[in-house]
Amino acid sequence: MRVLAISSQKGGSGKTTLAGHIAVQAQKMGAGPVALVDTDPQGSLADWWNERQDETPVFVSTYVSRLAADIERMRDAGIKLLVVDTPPAITDTIADVVHVSDLIIIPTRPSPHDLRAAGATVELVENLGKPLIFVINAATPRARMTSDAACALSQHGTVAPVIIHHRADFAASMIDGRTVMEVSKAARAASEITKLWEYIDARLISGRRKTIMPSSTASVIEKPSFNVGVH
């Protein structure tokens, strides 16, 4: 099983939207079963999943304090990819999630504030010896700031060659538990997510690491029941 964490200390970077979209696209492309965990106290990813009609990806209710152990149970249950959303702050929660992850995705809007905020996340990830990928998110098409941001970020880590542009389709699809891949008129946005997942998948495969952890008691939630218990 591979563990993918979506992390950034900057609020509004699009972590939750990206986590949901990556998980759905991974499931669609045969990388599943895919599971989601929401470690953000706001519970936005959990709220989105609760509105979702499709039974996949599954949602896993667990506690950060036992996440490392629960990963083994998820693996035994047949989960192939775990996508973890994290809080918008550098906390012990993020450190715990990064520690058990195979790859860290850092979504970054092409703005000076976001670029400055990325530093703390990068430092944490590097201190824990984990690989990271920057994803430029909510970019304005053809804006010079987008290319400037890519150049600046490349000095601190790998920048995904796929840019996610600011499109109303992303927010609209998340309202009722869907993604742009499930909206017929969102072809451009869906194409960006498709290409981004292909790149992330290739990175996960090339950098796969095997970690042995003790078993525990994670709860894989299936529709229609729902219970968020992340602290």
**Residue 73 · residue 217 · CB < 8 Å:** yes
pTM of the full predicted structure? 0.88
Please give the chain's pLDDT, 231 residues, in tens: 999 999 998 889 999 999 999 999 999 999 999 999 999 999 999 999 999 999 999 999 998 888 988 999 999 999 999 999 999 887 788 999 999 999 999 999 999 999 988 998 999 999 999 999 999 999 998 899 999 999 999 999 999 999 999 999 999 999 999 999 999 899 999 999 999 999 999 999 987 644 333 334 455 555 433 333 333
Establish if 33 belongs to a structural domain: yes
**Residue 90 · residue 77 · CB < 8 Å:** no
**Residue 85 · residue 19 · CB < 8 Å:** yes
Establish if 230 belongs to a structural domain: no
> Can you give the residue range of the structural domain that contains 75?
2-208
| CATH number of residue 185's parent domain | 3.40.50.300
Establish if 48 belongs to a structural domain: yes
Tokens 């990928």 correspond to what residue? Answer: 133
Establish if 15 belongs to a structural domain: yes
